[in-house]
Structure 1
Amino acid sequence: MNTTVPLTKFGAQLLKDELHQLKTQERKKVIEAIAEARSHGDLSENAEYDAAKERQAFIEGRIMELENKLSSAQVIDPATLDAEGRVVFASTVDLEDLENGQKVTYQIVGVDEADLKLNKISVTSPIARALIGKYAGDVVEVQAPSGPREYEILEVRYI
């Protein structure tokens, strides 16, 4: 059951960079740490050795996870989208909160690349799910923790 994972071109590059870092640098560091800890003798009571082995297991697990995600990724370049003004994965959406007039811009991205500080929201988030398929001028209602909120879609861009 190999489902595709949507990623923006930028998000796929982030995962590739992390994978490269883990394989070329972190793996070497942990192997050196294990060798160093081994040289201290008795492994049964060697906290350094246990910590290094634990770190190695984490790194190898993350490498496998990244390789799986990248192998099943559907990489989408927002600049090549032609969704005729519709909100879709990887689009950038300008919104206005109808309650307080506050304007905000979000890009809808994959789960792994979501970062609210960068205004990148996961495609699985309530606001993204409410926006998908809508057009500029549409009003959407989002169930927020503080209660329902209404947003007007001001503009949809593919950048």
Structure 2
Amino acid sequence: MDRIPISTQGYEKIKQELEDLKAQRPAIIQAIKEAREEGDLSENAGYDAARERQGMLEARISYINSRMPLFDVLDLDTLNGDRAIFGATVEVEDIDTEEKRRFLLLGPDDANHKNGSISVMSPMGMALLGKEEGEEVIVEAPRGRIEYEILSVEFLGSKGLKLD
């Protein structure tokens, strides 16, 4: 797999999540131990729930650990230019509906459409990459092809970032 871009802030957030997950291990192991002591495991809902929590926890830890070496950590405050790249805030207008939208282009691990950021690896992100103000892009979306005009490309640095 190629390198995965991530903001400095996103990387720190994921490192903290990993530490928090690892800190939960002893409590889950204790819950499994206590549930085992209750006897028959075939009808022990507490045991099943603790094992399920352990499985989900270990899966997430494994996932994060597998991605950490692939991260290309980028400081948003050092990025600039006139083209849409990782870290750029891009304003677009739907040519048909005239609806305007703004996106902060981030990596898949710190992008969150709820706070206005999208992944550079999403269909919209890939369509915008390398483009500049005034250019038109076509995005293949579930509702069909959407044509956008890029109204602006700017770099707001970390002040434009909202991780939650």
Q: What TM bracket, shorter-length normalisation?
A: 0.7 to 0.9
Superposition pairs of residues 105-120 of structure 1, within 5 angstroms: 105-120=102-117
C-alpha distance in 2 between matches for 1:55 and 1:140: 44
C-alpha distance in 1 between matches for 2:87 and 2:27: 36
Task: Give the superposition deviation at 1:100.
Answer: 2.1
C-alpha distance in 2 between matches for 1:79 and 1:155: 18
What's the % identity of the aligned pairs?
A: 43
Ranges in structure 2 where 5+ consecutive residues have no aligned partner: 158-164
Task: Give the superposition deviation at 1:22.
Answer: 0.5
Superposition pairs of residues 30-49 of structure 1, within 5 angstroms: 30-49=28-47
C-alpha distance in 1 between matches for 2:112 and 2:4: 17
Task: Give the superposition deviation at 1:89.
Answer: 1.7
C-alpha distance in 1 between matches for 2:26 and 2:89: 39
**1:54-79 deviation line (CA, Å, top 9, x unaligned):** 22122122112112212221011222
C-alpha distance in 2 between matches for 1:10 and 1:104: 24
- Residue 93, structure 1, aligned to residue 84, structure 2: no
Task: Report the counterpart of residue 19 of structure 1 in structure 2.
Answer: 18
Task: Report the counterpart of residue 122 of structure 2 in structure 1.
Answer: 125
- Residue 150, structure 1, aligned to residue 144, structure 2: no
Task: Report the counterpart of residue 8 of structure 1 in structure 2.
Answer: 7
2:4 alignment partner AA: V
Task: Give the superposition deviation at 1:149.
Answer: 1.6
Task: Report the counterpart of residue 80 of structure 1 in structure 2.
Answer: 78
Q: Aligned residues, how many?
A: 156
Task: Give the superposition deviation at 1:145.
Answer: 2.0
Task: Report the counterpart of residue 68 of structure 1 in structure 2.
Answer: 66
C-alpha distance in 1 between matches for 2:8 and 2:89: 14
Task: Report the counterpart of residue 59 of structure 1 in structure 2.
Answer: 57
Would the alpha carbon gap of residues 61 and 147 (structure 1) be closer, same or farther in structure 2, given more than 3 Å must change? closer
Task: Give the superposition deviation at 1:30.
Answer: 0.9
Task: Give the superposition deviation at 1:37.
Answer: 0.6
1:130 partner SS: helix
2:43 partner SS: coil
Task: Give the superposition deviation at 1:47.
Answer: 2.6
Ranges in structure 1 where 5+ consecutive residues have no aligned partner: none
C-alpha root-mean-square deviation of aligned residues, in Å? 1.7
Task: Give the superposition deviation at 1:43.
Answer: 2.7
C-alpha distance in 1 between matches for 2:77 and 2:144: 34
- Residue 137, structure 1, aligned to residue 134, structure 2: yes
